[in-house]
Amino acid sequence: MAHQGTSYTEGPIFKHISNLSITSAIGLFAIFAVDLVDVFFIALLGEPELAAAVGFAGTALFFGAAICIGLAIAVSTVVAQAVGEESVQGADAQALNSVRLATHGLLTIVLISVPLTVLSLIYAPWLLSLMGAKGLTLDMATHYFRIVGAALPVLGIAMAGTSLLRAVGEAKLSMWATIIAGLVNAILDPILIFALSMDLTGAAIASVISRFTVAGMAMYFIAGRHKLLQKPEWARFAADVKQLSAIAIPSLITNLAGPFGAAYATTQMARFGTDAVAAAAVIGRMTPVAFAGLYGLSGAVGPVASQNMGAKQWHRVRQTLLSSGLFVTLYVVPVAIGMFLLKDLLVSVFDLQDQAADLLRFYCTFIVISYWLFGLQLAANPLFTALRHPGYATVSNIARDLCLGIPLVYLGSSWFGAPGVLGGQAIGNMLAGIIAFSVALWLTSRVEKGLSIDLPFKAIKNTWHFHRAVVPGVQHRGD
């Protein structure tokens, strides 16, 4: 047997969701916290342009990370569904499929990310200038981007590797890979930035080494412990890429909506000066740390729902969504209260002044609670993918970041200035969360009842919503 991880087709769903979310969140927290520490150390250098440069570069790097996330979702989803099918049909037939799909998926990530990396490094100054970076800030942002962006293929392997570990039930191994990488980054940051006086270059190099650490550890566990790597089977490579593409293409579009929305928000924020962009850089790195549990949940829903889809446990797919909504509520409320109470301390820690300090206080007072509804969308989107309808997640994110986000950010910035940028994003997130979760509830209700969730339009269904048919009839009621 190629994998011996945890099965999510048995036992309490909320326990699976909570355990997987928390273990994933701990690892993500380590990575996000180091990014926040990067900004903290850079702030200690006393140059707002440096923090602003990291803000611009971080937004640009978001594009590459979004592509890697979309590809990682596709690979881990098909492997997780193979694991679920294995629990019903036996290991011998499906284990080899899992190995082949994992191998071809990782190879596909490399083949896509390498040329994208070359193009992004060439056109980095143009991309950053479009977002409003100018003069010295543009030069520093380009320098930082080219160092960190060169490791995009490594980031893709790291994301896919940790996702594959979660897909086969090894959430703790995934967690430890990211924790150790975070510790490596945290140790290297002060050494490279201060001891060796490398400033921004040191922060960038530390981030690159951290990515190699995650990728190396993930590949070690995947290849050594779970034997999920083999020589490519070129005769079946094209067919596997086609299967992966059915999820990857809409997932890529889904995840790319976020960077476009963030880039537009950064452009609007740049209108209000370097201090506003520096404050946005702090907020942009503080948010993933505070809400790491939600991003952990986003990575937890897919494996749990996908295994149960593969095992034809329809009722447990709906329970996955309901348990995710409960987790979001229990997580966001205390975090939002805590950030409100600590807002003045956070302003002091990052030495923000005037407009930058006001922006952080506004965020901690009014914006953080919006993550309750945003979290519902983070629960719904991977559920759509598990149902083999990733196009719903695509529409969900496009609606949030482009159709709602951009107009609301424009109106907010025009009427209320820099706080309006944050407010516009928050309103778009909340509306999208309500809509996405409602649609997910409707879909899972139909699945549980044995009703079809295929789209009536064949061309759209085949292009955006490849769906493995659900056998009619209510099955597997109860735990």
- Where are the chain's structural domains? 13-464
Amino acid identity at 27: G
Is this structure's pTM higher than 0.85? no
Q: In whole angstroms, how far apart are CA 12 and each of 302, 313, 323, 357?
A: 16, 13, 10, 44
Cα–Cα distance, 350 to 280 (Å, whole number): 12
- Answer for the pair 393, 251: CB distance below 8 angstroms, yes or no: yes
Note the pLDDT of residue 55. Answer: 84
Report the first-to-last Cα separation within the chain, whole angstroms. Answer: 27
pLDDT along the chain (479 residues), means of 10: 58 85 78 75 76 84 85 82 63 60 89 94 92 88 94 92 83 84 87 88 91 92 81 85 81 78 89 86 87 86 79 81 93 95 90 86 95 93 82 86 93 94 95 94 83 58 42 29
Note the pLDDT of residue 2. Answer: 46
Note the pLDDT of residue 168. Answer: 78
Note the pLDDT of residue 96. Answer: 59
Note the pLDDT of residue 479. Answer: 30
Q: Which of 331, 350, 226, 222 is nearest to 280 (CA)?
A: 350
